[in-house]
């Protein structure tokens, strides 16, 4: 059974953050989890200099700023979390991504949930720098909202897909995806993309393509045996992020799961595609 008893939700008072709150509340209610709302006051660069404390205090009243932000945090998202029994609201200061990852580690959070802040014609192609750093540094799973201007809560869950690369490290991601799907009674599909299968096949390539597909199925079957799962498998040709998006759309998925190795491993094809998967996914993504 999946354990999600402590959720960390970084709050920056943005519209995207408010939109993601309904997702957080829904997951917290499902797993009876405690939610920590964490607001981080970004430390100005001058604070990293050699100024003595008294000169820093002259520039800005840090304690008063923290007090004001705490009042704001205590008042925000009251309606969104009215049905969540255990709520904690904390204000800290420092470099946001570092503070978020460190707080999650110290509090032994089971899940970090945050928006990507990707909107507009150009920002749609980018992840927010804080989100990207948290995805890379956090030890626990990280949930990111739909990377689009419109964010909406899917309060139920009937379909989950897990993007699978052919590496041993995928076992833990498959297990997490299976446990999450089981918690909601949802279907789980493992999706593997093979770029070499893109486009129409030439007669001379038929045997080679069949070999790639069968080899992938055998490897994924071994991963599932080790993970203790028996999920459906979908193998598609084409660009990885697009293949994952297509599978998510076809199965009306409410969640896409990708592995930790997608971001941390030096090798592994999904590493360079992890951010693309998050950008293009039609539903939230969890990096496990």
CB-based contacts of 184: which residues, under 8 Å, 6+ apart?
30, 156, 157, 158, 160
pLDDT of residue 100: 97
- Does the pLDDT value for residue 266 go beyond 50? no
Report how far residue 184's alpha carbon sits from residue 146's, in angstroms, rounded to the nearest whole number: 20
Report how far residue 271's alpha carbon sits from residue 179's, in angstroms, rounded to the nearest whole number: 23
pLDDT band at 47 (very low <50, low <70, confident <90, very high): very low
Mean local confidence (pLDDT), 180-200: 91
Phi-psi region of 268 (alpha: psi -120 to 50; beta: other; left: phi over 0): left
The answer on 173 and 72 residing in a single domain is no
pLDDT of residue 264: 47
The answer on 209 and 86 residing in a single domain is no
Burial 79-104 (b: 16+ CB within 10 A, else e): ebbeebeebebbbebeebbebbbebb
Tell me 201's DSSP state.
P
Report how far residue 260's alpha carbon sits from residue 121's, in angstroms, rounded to the nearest whole number: 29
- Does the pLDDT value for residue 150 go beyond 70? no
The answer on 249 and 171 residing in a single domain is yes
The answer on 3 and 83 residing in a single domain is yes
The answer on 141 and 8 residing in a single domain is yes
* pLDDT tens, residue by residue, 115-139: 876 444 434 434 567 888 899 899 9
The answer on 109 and 20 residing in a single domain is yes
Strand pairing category for 285-287 and 142-144: antiparallel
pLDDT band at 179 (very low <50, low <70, confident <90, very high): very high
The answer on 84 and 171 residing in a single domain is no
Report how far residue 72's alpha carbon sits from residue 93's, in angstroms, rounded to the nearest whole number: 15
Mean local confidence (pLDDT), 86-110: 96
Give the pTM: 0.86
> What domain range includes position 73?
1-149
Q: What is the CATH number of the domain that holds 29?
A: 3.40.50.620
CA angle 79, 82, 83 (to 5 degrees): 135
The answer on 183 and 40 residing in a single domain is no
- Does the pLDDT value for residue 162 go beyond 90? yes
For 166, the 3-state DSSP assignment is coil
* pLDDT tens, residue by residue, 207-248: 888 999 999 999 999 999 999 999 999 999 988 999 999 999
pLDDT of residue 141: 97
pLDDT band at 70 (very low <50, low <70, confident <90, very high): very high
Element (H or E) spanning 88, and its range?
A: strand 87-94
Last residue in a domain, options 95, 120, 149: 149
Judging by beta carbons within 10 Å of its beta carbon (0-12, 13-18, 19+), is residue 166 exposed, middle or buried? middle
pLDDT of residue 50: 58
- Does the pLDDT value for residue 87 go beyond 80? yes
pLDDT of residue 75: 96
* pLDDT tens, residue by residue, 15-40: 888 889 999 999 999 999 999 999 99
Domain count, the chain: 2
Q: Are 249 and 196 in contact (CB under 8 A)?
A: no
Phi-psi region of 94 (alpha: psi -120 to 50; beta: other; left: phi over 0): left
Name the average pLDDT for the chain. 85
Mean local confidence (pLDDT), 40-60: 61
- Does the pLDDT value for residue 77 go beyond 70? yes
């Amino acid at each position: 059974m999946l354990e999600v008893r402590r959720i960390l939700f970084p709050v920056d008072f943005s519209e995207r953050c408010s939109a993601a709150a309904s997702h957080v509340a829904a997951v917290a209610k499902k797993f009876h989890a405690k939610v920590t709302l964490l607001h981080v006051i970004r430390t100005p660069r001058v604070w990293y200099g050699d100024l003595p404390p008294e000169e820093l205090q002259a520039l800005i009243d840090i304690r008063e700023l923290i007090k004001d932000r705490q009042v704001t945090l205590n008042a925000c998202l009251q309606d969104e979390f009215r049905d969540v029994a255990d709520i904690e609201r904390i204000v800290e200061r420092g470099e946001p991504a570092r503070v978020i990852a460190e707080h999650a580690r110290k509090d032994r959070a089971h899940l970090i949930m945050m928006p990507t802040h990707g909107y507009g014609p150009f920002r749609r192609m980018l992840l927010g720098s804080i989100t990207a750093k948290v995805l890379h540094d956090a030890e626990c799973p990280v949930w990111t909202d739909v990377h689009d201007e419109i964010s909406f809560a899917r309060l139920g869950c009937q379909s989950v897909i897990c993007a699978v690369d052919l590496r041993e490290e995928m076992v833990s991601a498959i297990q997490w995806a299976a446990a999450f799907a089981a918690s909601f009674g949802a279907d789980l599909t493992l999706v593997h993309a093979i770029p070499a299968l893109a486009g129409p096949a030439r007669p001379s390539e038929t045997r080679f393509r069949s070999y790639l597909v069968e080899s992938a199925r055998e490897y994924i079957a071994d991963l599932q045996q080790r993970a203790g799962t028996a999920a459906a498998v979908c193998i598609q040709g084409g660009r990885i992020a697009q293949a994952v998006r297509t599978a998510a759309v076809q199965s009306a998925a409410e969640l896409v799961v990708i592995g930790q190795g997608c971001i941390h491993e030096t090798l592994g094809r999904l590493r360079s595609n992890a951010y693309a998967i998050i950008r293009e996914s039609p539903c939230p993504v969890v990096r496990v």
